[in-house]
Amino acid sequence: MTAPAPAAVPGPTPVPVPVPAPLAAADALNARLDGTRTEPADNPQLEALALAVTANQPVLLWGEPGIGKSAGMQQLAAALGVRLETVVASVHEPSDFAGLPVVGDDPAASGVPMAPPDWAVRLARTGHGLLFFDELSSAPPAVQAALLRVVLERRVGSLALPASVRIVAAANPPASAADGWHLSPPLANRFVHLDWTHDPRTVARGMAGTWPETALPTVDPGRVPGAVARARGVVSGFLTARPGLAHHMPKDAEGRGRAWPSPRTWEMALRLLAAGYASGAGREARAAALTGAVGEAVGIELLAYLENLDLPDPDRVLADPDAFALPDRGDRQLAFLVAVVAAVQSEPTRPRWEAGWAVLAKAVDAGVPDVAARAARDLAAMREPDWPVPPGIEAFLELLQLAGALPGAR
């Protein structure tokens, strides 16, 4: 029988050594320089970052070295009241993100778990926080590949990061990065890409001791149902009108390493738009976030579509469907009807369901039943068995019965 190991004997408590007088004076000078104040100011790029973080979408900040990307993250973490864990991706090995194998007593029976690094354990224990991957464009392809699972699946080794942990990364353009690499398309397509720049006037005022402080967007719970319905209508209507933009990967390496449209990034755009509507985020911040998700060219087209859409609030329409008029344009009609169905789905009561049919009936009266056909199928699928068929459904009855969307209708 092996004897137990002796208990560790605590060593002597280290005695603090006074700081030499010349260094103490220098420390006092530096402490005085650290004393700065803040003033309210608009900062669309920080607001766009906060919007993406609020929507829980991974963000990648692009900017030249030394312009304040890390400082922006510290300011954001302090404003949100969460822990900031910074990981310099370029100095890590793939195993630091995939996990290090730990051999147990019987690997054949229990397997070999992959141990996570300490920063992942701290975030898991806290339950929330900001995970900041710095110098991402200096990380070699093997490290970028290992990060795919962290960013998409939120797993580090055998550890699953809590859903409330937000992921942000920073990168220098390959020409400015030390041993810079273009991002691989699979990794680039998992981020909302934001350009991080500096304002010389802000820097000058900061050197005088005053830095800007931006009010961050906060989701209003009362706005959530309408915001979700409206965002679904907008994105679905846009992609119905422009189906060729659902997926388009650039041909050049630089373009593939930035934002481009795919079903994954359209899901990001949907969540960003909903968070923007629900939080009242500024127009510039919403524009930066959306173009950062689907790319500049497609984002500009989406923003132009949004500018001209001007959808009514679907919840208000459902509260009084007789008081509204169907929009004239076909794309606005489709986007609005999708938003109405999404609003009903968020709170599927019989009065709202019947009000939805009253709205769709106006499309029939306007001579465009084909525009409402898809919305009618989705609305019919929400019907509870004891709900009678409302009058507004008659124009779609044949279509729905053929599609089997009204079982047991009476």
Count of other CB atoms within 10 angstroms of residue 395: 18
Q: What is the pLDDT of residue 409?
A: 47
Q: What is the pLDDT of residue 322?
A: 84
Last-in-domain residue among 151, 172, 190: 190
Which pairs from 273-276 meet CB under 8 Å and 24+ separation? 273/231, 273/234, 273/235, 274/55, 274/227, 274/228, 274/230, 274/231, 274/232, 275/51, 275/54, 275/55, 275/217, 275/219, 275/227, 276/51, 276/217, 276/227
13 lies in a domain? no
Residues 339 and 393 grouped into a single domain: yes
Last-in-domain residue among 259, 293, 309: 309
Residues 269 and 228 grouped into a single domain: yes
Instruction: Report how many helices (DSSP H) and strands (DSSP E) the chain contains, helices first.
Output: 19, 11
Residues 159 and 183 grouped into a single domain: yes
Residues 370 and 296 grouped into a single domain: no
254 lies in a domain? yes
Residues 300 and 347 grouped into a single domain: no
Q: Rounded to whole angstroms, how far apart are CA atoms 406 and 383?
A: 8
The CATH number of the domain where 131 resides is what? 3.40.50.300
Q: What is the pLDDT of residue 407?
A: 47
210 lies in a domain? no
Per-residue pLDDT of the chain (410 residues; tens, 9 = 90+): 444 545 555 666 777 778 788 898 899 999 998 888 888 888 888 899 999 999 999 999 998 888 888 888 888 898 888 999 999 988 888 888 887 777 766 666 667 777 888 999 999 999 999 999 998 888 888 888 889 889 988 999 889 999 999 999 999 886 665 566 778 899 999 999 999 988 888 889 888 888 888 788 899 999 998 899 989 989 988 998 889 999 999 988 888 999 999 999 999 999 999 999 999 999 999 999 999 999 999 999 999 999 888 778 888 889 998 888 888 777 788 888 888 999 998 889 999 999 998 888 888 888 777 777 778 888 888 889 888 877 767 777 766 655 455 544 44
pTM of the model: 0.82
Residues 173 and 221 grouped into a single domain: no
Residues 300 and 334 grouped into a single domain: no
Which pair of structure tokens corresponds to residue 228?
């979700």
Q: Rounded to whole angstroms, how far apart are CA atoms 127 and 308?
A: 42
Residues 176 and 69 grouped into a single domain: yes
Last-in-domain residue among 190, 209, 236: 190
4 lies in a domain? no
Q: What is the pLDDT of residue 176?
A: 63
Residues 168 and 246 grouped into a single domain: no
14 lies in a domain? no
27 lies in a domain? no
Residues 290 and 316 grouped into a single domain: no
| Domains of the chain: total | 3
Residues 154 and 254 grouped into a single domain: no
Q: What is the pLDDT of residue 1?
A: 45
19 lies in a domain? no
Residues 185 and 88 grouped into a single domain: yes
16 lies in a domain? no
Query: Whole domain around residue 282: which residue ranges?
Result: 217-309
Q: What is the pLDDT of residue 403?
A: 47
Q: What is the pLDDT of residue 93?
A: 87
